[in-house]
Every structure is written in C-alpha cells, then in structure tokens.
Amino acid sequence: MSSKVTIHEVARMSGVSIKTVSRVLNREANVKSDTRIRVQEAVAALNYRPNISARSLAGSKAYLIGVFFDNPSPAYVTDVQLGAIARCREEGYHLIVEPLDSEGDVASQVQPMLATLRMDGVILTPPVCDNVAVLDVLEAEGVPYVRLSPDRDVDRSANVRMDDSRAAYEMTAHLIGLGHTDIGFIKGHPDHGAAHLRYEGYVKAMTEHGHPVRDDRVEQGWFSFRSGFEAAERLLSGDDRPTAIFASNDDMALGVMAVANRLRLEVPQTLSVAGFDDTPGAKVVWPQLTTVRQPIQAMAAAAADLLLNGEASGDAETPPSRLLDFQLVVRESTGPAPKG
C-alpha cells in the first residue's frame, strides 16, 4: 500500500488545516463535530497513521514505554510484557524491551538509552527494580518509572505489589485445613524481601492455629531447584518427617517432589507439597503442583496504567502504590494429612 501518507494529505482531502487534523487525532476539544467526522473519514480513506518520530520530536511524548529486566524467569518476563502492552495499546503506546546485565555497570547501560529514546516511562521488574543506581539514573533523566514487587525502599517511588505474606498465610491455612499440623517450610533467597514475607505468613498461620513452628522443620533455600532438593533431603530423611512441605517457590517445590519421588513417598497421600509462583513447571510435573499465582499480567498492566495516567511522575508527595490480589491455585499435590 501507501508507502507514506502524511497529515498534509489528510488535511487537503478533508479541506481543513494540518493543525485541525492534529487536533482530531489527539482527541482535543473544540473541534466541530462535523469537521471531526470529515477528518476521520479522510484518515480512514487514506489509511493514515501519524509518524511516531515526528510526533515525539514535535511534542512532549515519545509514545514509548520501556521494560527493563534482568530476570531469570522467562515466564515472568513475558507475562510482564503482555500485561504492559495490553494497557499501552489502548493509548497507542509501544513497548521497548531492554534486558539489562546486572553483572556489568547497569547505570551506564541505562543512561544512554534513556537519553536517546526519551521514553515516557519505564517498568522495572525484580531484581532491577531494587538497583539503586538504575533508580538514580532514571530520576536524574526525569523519566517516570514504576517498580514491580520492589524489596527495598518501597516508599521511594511508584510501585505495584502483591501481598506475599497474606498469600503464604492462606496457603499454610489451606494445608492446616486439610488436617496437617506438622508442616515443613523452605525459605527463599534471603536477599529477596518476598522470601521474608512468605516466611512471615507461614509463621503467622501456624501460630494463629496453635501449631508450633519447629526449628528442624524450617530449612534455608535459595529459590533454586537444587536448593529445594537438598532442603527436602534434610526434611524427609528419617522417619520423623512432616506431612506437608510448603516451599516458598515452585522451583524448590519441584525439588521436593523429586526427593519424594526418589524416597517413594506418595504425593499427596503421604506428603503434601505446595509451591509459590505458579511457574509453567508447576503444571508439568505429576501430580500437578498446588501453588500461589501472582497476577503478573495484571500487575504489569497496573504499572503501565500508573505511567500513562501520570500518577507515576514523581510529583506527588507520597508515591502511588497498588496492591493486587493473589490467587491460590489448588491442584493435586496437596491432600488430606495421612491418618495416624
């Protein structure tokens, strides 16, 4: 088709000035409705689309939102992208993805990019969202940003989070509801704030229901399959073992399942296993894993929303924060506690 239709041609075709076409395109007020319609018809007829470069050069918006990540979980990353784009498309914005290499000097990777692209906003996923150098650069360049599930300095800037503590509480309560009283727990990487929150939720649920939190039932893990595997070996060796294990993420829970498998402990008849995150792996194992789903797409959409509606611009005294609901996904890896 048309290699390049400009606003000029639309103006000529509809018999108004370029500026009026611009007004219609930008949904500005004070355009007579029949003028508006005439222009819209011309736009449709010529199949005209405004040139984003010219637009951002002339105006103040770039129509670009950045997504910065350095995340080992592809599923998380794509969910963020899908959620963000869903909201962005409504307003004609596009997504620029920038994988960061946190091994290197992240700030120096970010500054040039911000200076060239002049994006309207940036969404930061963990762990980049806790990289102070990156935040500093963003603020220096005056680019609004929203952090997803930040760990540190939560009040520093706009963010979107999930209630990890309450989710862990409810998962624990779910197990207790199934009759378990002796529930093992595998902690996550101590550098991640979420790890602490999840542990907190577990402790709270156990305590409130009158079950002791035994030291030898809590193992340190690192969010990896291997660490879950090793923690499970410690928890499950010998005859005195818990009837359920709640791992603070799915990868570790899968490690637990592997050990159970090896030891011929039937899941969930002999041992219930619960995870956290609802990664793709959770559906691939057998039996499928009971876990907690973060509404990642919704969180990303909320982040995009904060950016697009201007709330994240950093002028408010209290940065906006949105807390989204999680979802307990009960599948086959948890069941009633064995009798006796």
Partner DNA sequence: TAAGGCCATGACAGCCTTGTCAAAGCGACC
Partner DNA sequence: GGTCGCTTTGACAAGGCTGTCATGGCCTTA
The footprint of a second copy (CB under 8 A) covers: 1, 3, 5, 47-54, 56-57, 62-63, 74-79, 81-82, 85, 92, 94-99, 111-113, 115-118, 140-142, 225, 251, 254, 258, 261-262, 280-281, 283-286
Q: State yes or no: residue 113 binds DNA (CB under 7 A).
A: no
- Cβ neighbours of residue 270 under 8 Å, at least 6 residues apart? 243, 260, 338
- Which H/E stretch holds residue 34? helix 33-46
Among 23, 161, 174, 192, binds DNA (CB under 7 A): 23
CA pair distance 248, 54, nearest whole angstrom: 49
Q: Residue 276 corresponds to which amino acid?
A: F
81 vs 227 by CB, closer to a second copy? 81
Q: State yes or no: residue 152 binds DNA (CB under 7 A).
A: no
23 vs 198 by CB, closer to DNA? 23
Q: Which of DNA, a second copy, none interacts with 60 (beta carbon under 5 to 8 A by kind)? A: DNA
Among 47, 60, 238, 315, binds DNA (CB under 7 A): 60
Q: What is the DSSP string of 216-276?
A: GGEEE--SSHHHHHHHHHHHHSSS---SEEEESSHHHHHHHHHHHHHTT--TTTT-EEE-S
Give the range of 4-12, 97-105, 179-187, 332-340 binding DNA by CB under 7 A. 4-12
Among 13, 42, 43, 50, binds DNA (CB under 7 A): 50
Three-class DSSP category at 24: helix
Q: Give the dihedral sign, CA 89/90/93/99.
A: negative
CA pair distance 259, 232, nearest whole angstrom: 6
99 vs 190 by CB, closer to a second copy? 99
Structure tokens at 150: 């930040």
> Which parts of this chain interact with DNA (CB under 7 A)?
4, 6-8, 15-20, 22-23, 25-26, 29-32, 35, 48, 50-51, 54-55, 57-60
